[in-house]
Chain A
């Protein structure tokens, strides 16, 4: 038995020996139970138990607890020990409480009282024990009970140094666990001066507390910058002689240096030139010392020295202002990349990742590319290889992308499972970001699927499809490549998905070659069909119906497949429904309708890569890339911002059905427009069963579609929809109308396919909602993110409008290559002429630039122009797509008229094509004044005493277009009980009523 120091508790030592000598678990438990029984009887019976015995038994209980056994008594005895005046008894009491008593224990009130007594006493040893207990438990109750005592100890003149140290850290603990319980007071202003304390231990403890306070309120404590710099300077230059004891293996006060360097990372570079110079000297001295020969061969020496060095480099990166220091830091880390210590190689890779994002050191980092690739291939520790991947990703740019992506792909074949998915995302992002030649991009992604198919998430294959759809120069190549890839006997299911989708869209581009003719393509796809999951089969079925359009010659083969029991009577309702609907669609419709319905997918609007969003979500702290890095180094990507981008446009066949819907509702061939599903009105609660039928299209409403009632042909979807009663089109919720009920019964498992994540949105986050806000107003903020605020002001006069867009740069950097492009989806350009004044190539930090648009309305239009803003921020390309808030009602001028005139005109406009009526569910309580304001904002008059029912609104206006003037009459009947509106619009020109009705209904 080893000697027990000082006041040996012999009984304890004997007990521990006994336990250690137990040969089996059972024997141990037996011994413990015997001891527990003994202690229990002692605590119960013997009233004359002295302090020593209590201490001994409490300590035994603690030991038993630490062995992993439950302890359900002895707490009171431990609390009793707190009032002992003997150090050893008090210590054991506090220890037992710290380790065993939870924050919510009933005894806590007694414990806090005992602590308060000790804090108020004059014995520094007792004060320290009490503080340690508070710091170890740190409960809210303690914070509330001791919120005055502890700060007082910290700044009081007669507190001894070691108590101050404990008080500082105890306060820190309480501030962390219950910040609102600590009253701010005079102590706060004095706290930064602890950095000047003579005693280095006090400074060490206080530095942690101050950093915590600074993080919450940097402005209030900014005086600490100069104090920290001067303290650091005295340590680094060793001009202080009392450092002797704080020197650890020849390194002066390494831990304090690290804390001070971290504290400074909460502030921008010092403004005061003298402080700034002094700090630069410190950092240079630290870099210089790294080059000096080591003063000791011990690893402790190099670790301590490098701890300070790495923290100095972190500060240099944080300030990101001195190119010389950044490049020196990079060279230093470069040496570490080949160091024999794994720790140093790892940390060098990690720090270099940050350096790669600074414009000053990016090139310097790139010099080490070969070494990093070697690390990726040879490091034994997977976490080091992971860092190498991160660094390669961060240092990648257009000049080295092909090589880096190639190396990463090669490594992927043997990469650890734990990092594969992330590598796949990174490769996919790099390939897209730096692709000059999109055939290369397609190759990379298909390789990814081939090498690591299981790790290719949906986002990755959605993205390749979006890109192929949007770039017609690569479609033929993509079709050929997937066709070849599908030849492989064992093909990953993700490959089948991509292959099915791409051949369904672009199979015709390679069908000229008999080796990849239509029937061959179909057979190839269909040979995979039976091995695939239902979701993939659904996708293949959509590809088949597209084939029917592309290749009429194999229509009968495909129809046979659709008709087979395996599909038409499949247990999976989704597959069954697709088979039936597609079969009907292909049998009933004319070739023209089929061709329109199954038209090639329109381009996807540009948006942030879904993959990047996924990577951010997966690893919020390590997306080292251009502008994102700036945020992530401070690890401040707000959760909301991330979730905005999560469910991103997986392209699916569903789009095709929504086009069918549009086709029918606008009785003319639809413009091949960018068709966006609003993210707003199609909540996931709406369920897939609705989406499948194309109901949540936002722009076209179901009841209107039913009212118009004379669709061409007898397309399948019309038959399905014909039963509809007026439902509320913008916010379908399950069970809100007959249509939905009907589909619920058709697809009883409506929630299952919803996990496929159908969403065809295309604009930047929130764009649709912002756009809608402008329907009834002319000025406001259209868009805002961390970089940019976009405001809009507009005025209209008859058929002419002027609109100013204000781009405000919110960052502290110049935005370069600032480009604004306005496109007019479909045939909008024939209806709306837009003239755009140029805007400068740069937006200075904090500045705002203005751009004017002149717009003339030629004839009625339903779509809005799409504005795409592109710029470089810190070298990273940013893109924002927004709908320009130009809507038809802006060109209305209000008209006044009496009841007689109104009703005469109302009756005159009686043809079905001149009227549009919608029943709308109120989104907010119906308020007469608010509705009136909306109507005025909508640019129509509000006519009093026209409608016999005073609750109803009657409005009139004239729509000015270049071609003609159109009379507009509007009637709005609120039903407060039902919280519904009936909105009727009549217009003297066909289609106008419907467009206006659609616009107005979004506002109610």
Chain B
């Protein structure tokens, strides 16, 4: 699905609006347009995945956590600033674990090995 620049901004705002109002007693899933968002909160950061309504909620919830653990290892105790200053590397991590909107690789050691190899390149 392709979105123009303005649509993307609008999407971000809408997602922000539906996700951040929810509290801890709520589910980690929320209907969004014709899809659903599976999200997980880490301190002040929300990580969101938008999936088809029929997709497996818990599998995506854990996919988020799996990638957070990878980020944590990769950045040695990841914090928000790591993600900002190394935003281009975050893309690499995501591309390694998700591609074309699907789960690509789930084994943490394998992803990390690949990322470290890439980091050693110029």
Contact = CB atoms under 8 A, between A and B. Distances in A.
Interface of A: 1-2, 4-7, 13, 16, 20, 59, 62-63, 66, 68, 70, 86-88, 91-92, 95, 99, 102-103, 125, 131-132, 135-136, 138-139, 162, 165-166, 169-170, 172-173, 176, 200-201, 204-205, 208, 245-246, 248, 253-256, 258-259, 262, 300, 303-304, 306-307, 310-311, 342-343, 346-347, 380-381, 383-384, 621, 635
Nearest to B115: A5
A528 B118 CA distance: 77
A254 B27 contact: no
B121 A381 contact: no
Interface in B17-76: 22-23, 25-31, 53-54, 56-59, 61-63, 65-66, 75
A486 to B, nearest CB: 39
A256 B87 CA distance: 29
Nearest to A387: B27
B42 to A, nearest CB: 13
A380 B105 contact: no
Given A135-B99, A201-B110, A300-B65, A88 B122 contact: yes
Nearest to A246: B107
Contacts of A7: 122
A173 B98 CA distance: 12
A102 B2 contact: yes
B57 A125 contact: no
B103 A310 contact: no
A169 B104 contact: yes
Contact of B85 (A16, A87, A125, A172): A16
A132 B95 contact: yes
A169 B100 contact: yes
Contact of A255 (B4, B59, B79, B91): B59
A256 B106 contact: yes
Given A6-B120, A303-B62, 16 more contacts: A6-B119, A16-B84, A62-B88, A92-B88, A162-B114, A204-B103, A208-B100, A208-B103, A248-B62, A259-B103, A303-B58, A307-B58, A310-B57, A311-B56, A346-B27, A347-B57
A7 B2 CA distance: 32
Contact of A201 (B56, B59, B86, B105): B105
Given A125-B121, A169-B104, A245-B107, A384 B99 contact: no
15 contacts: A5-B89, A68-B9, A91-B92, A95-B91, A99-B91, A138-B100, A162-B105, A208-B102, A255-B62, A255-B63, A255-B103, A307-B56, A311-B56, A343-B27, A381-B26
Contact of A2 (B23, B81, B107): B81
Interface residues on B, range: 35 or more
3 tightest Cβ-Cβ pairs between the two chains A and B? A307-B58, A173-B100, A87-B121
A248 B30 contact: no
A245 B58 contact: no
A16 B80 CA distance: 13
Contact of A91 (B25, B61, B88): B88
A77 to B, nearest CB: 15
Nearest to A13: B85
B63 A205 contact: no
A304 B62 contact: yes
B58 A2 contact: no
Nearest to B3: A102
A264 to B, nearest CB: 13
B82 A2 contact: yes
A165 B106 CA distance: 12
Contacts of B79: 2
Given A62-B88, A132-B99, A384 B109 contact: no
A204 B88 contact: no
B46 to A, nearest CB: 16
Nearest to A621: B53
Contacts of B30: 383
A381 B63 CA distance: 23
Contacts of A342: 25-27
A412 to B, nearest CB: 21
A343 B61 contact: yes
A172 B27 contact: no
Contacts of A383: 26-27, 29-31
A6 to B, nearest CB: 4
A303 B63 CA distance: 10
Contacts of A204: 103-106
A246 B99 contact: no
A381 B87 contact: no
A200 B61 contact: no
A248 B99 contact: no
Contacts of B59: 254-255, 258, 304, 307, 311
Contacts of B85: 1-2, 4, 13, 16
B34 to A, nearest CB: 9
Nearest to B91: A95
A138 B118 CA distance: 24
A346 B58 contact: no
A63 B30 CA distance: 29
Contacts of B63: 255
Given A248-B62, A343-B28, A172 B119 contact: no
B118 A125 contact: yes
A303 B61 contact: yes
A70 B4 CA distance: 12
Given A204-B104, A380-B25, A383-B27, A4 B86 contact: yes
Nearest to B78: A2
Contacts of B86: 4-5
A200 B79 CA distance: 31
Contact of B54 (A62, A255, A635): A635
A381 B103 CA distance: 29
